[in-house]
Amino acid sequence: MAVRFVSRLAVFAVSLLASTVLVFLLMAILPGDPARVALGINASPEAVERLRANYGLDRPLVVQYFDWLRQLLTADLGKSYISGAPMAPQIADRFQVTLILVLVSMVIAVAIALPLGFLAAVRHRNVSGVVLSGLSQVGVSVPAFLAGILLIAVLAVQLGWLPAGGWVPPARDPGDFLRHLILPALSLGMVQGAVLTRYVRSSVIDVMREDYIRTARAKGLRPLPALLKHGLRNAAIPVVTVLALQLATLLIGAVVVERVFVIPGLGSLLLDSVSNRDLLMVQNVVMVLVVAVLLVNLLVELLYVVIDPRLRVAGGR
């Protein structure tokens, strides 16, 4: 188990280092000059060169990369090319908003998928199981931003039950915070819940066809107790893998949903920075998202050991 843990940490470290190189190179080859954007098109070449030197953009790419890597390791992300304000506090504040939205959306997705997926699997040969499977398939085909627009049209515009957009910090007014959170969290959570329902259904059906479930039933256990007692852990392993992928999908999907609901999260900051050509801010925000995805994958790898006892055996990989 210790060997597996160390190997996963090593893979995480190598993946993280490779990601920094890839993100830096992608930002470096993008057209446009941040100094020219900051000063405007009427700025003199001398002023642009002075600002480039101030930003460190006149140095070799290798030097710029290692300087940025040092900033990442010390959590000092430098200052924005456009506003001149420190980026670390801005990114931290926006990431808190996105994290709340993503976690609540994932809770909604799991709350939808586990009972519906389990029921669709147990009753997959009945009409109710077919209906549930069909509804989940429809949900998979709906983009999160479209679900958000439909929810706004019905629950906010027509019925007036909830606000159509905006964000209220939870410390300011918890009740108003929840009212503003419901629609964006539902738009992300329902779509991802439909996706997860399909995987829960498939995983449970596969376990129900295993020999050890048949043996348990031959010994007198009814189908549902046999599945819960002997098949739940095996069914959970592929579902946990999909959960990790969905967390990454939610982080990316939040970029668009935050725009639809006017939420000041990391996605809105990323889009604003792209439109303003604030490439260093874009670079740092993308790297934060990459680190979050890699951390989720690492935690899932470690969670496998908890779920599957076979992986705790010495030398298990």
pLDDT of residue 122: 75
90-312 carries CATH number 1.20.1070.10: no
Tokens coding 243: 């959960």
At residue 111's C-alpha, the angle toward residues 107 and 117, to 5°, is 130
Residue 143 to residues 5, 96, 123, 165, Cα–Cα distance (Å): 37, 24, 28, 18
**What's the pTM?**
0.77
Half-sphere exposure of 70 (CA within 13 A, CB side): 6
Region 236-263 average pLDDT: 77
8 Å CB contact between 211 and 125? no
Where b means 16+ CB within 10 Å and e means fewer, 150-187 reads ebbeebbeeeeebbbbebbeeeeeeeeeeebbbbbbbb
| Residues constituting the chain | 317
Q: Specify the residue for token string 């190598």.
A: 14
HSE (side-chain half, CA atoms, 13 Å) at 221? 15
pLDDT at 266: 86
The whole-angstrom separation of Cα 156 and Cα 150 is 10
CATH 1.10.3720.10 domain span(s) along the chain:
90-312
Region of poorest pLDDT, from 95-109, 126-140, 170-184, 295-309: 295-309
**pLDDT class for 316, splitting at 50, 70, 90?**
very low
pLDDT confidence tier of residue 202, bands split at 50, 70 and 90: confident
Helix (H, G, I), strand (E, B) or coil at 86: strand
Q: How high does pLDDT run on average in the chain?
A: 79
State how far the Cα of 61 lies from the Cα of 59, in Å rounded to an integer.
Answer: 6
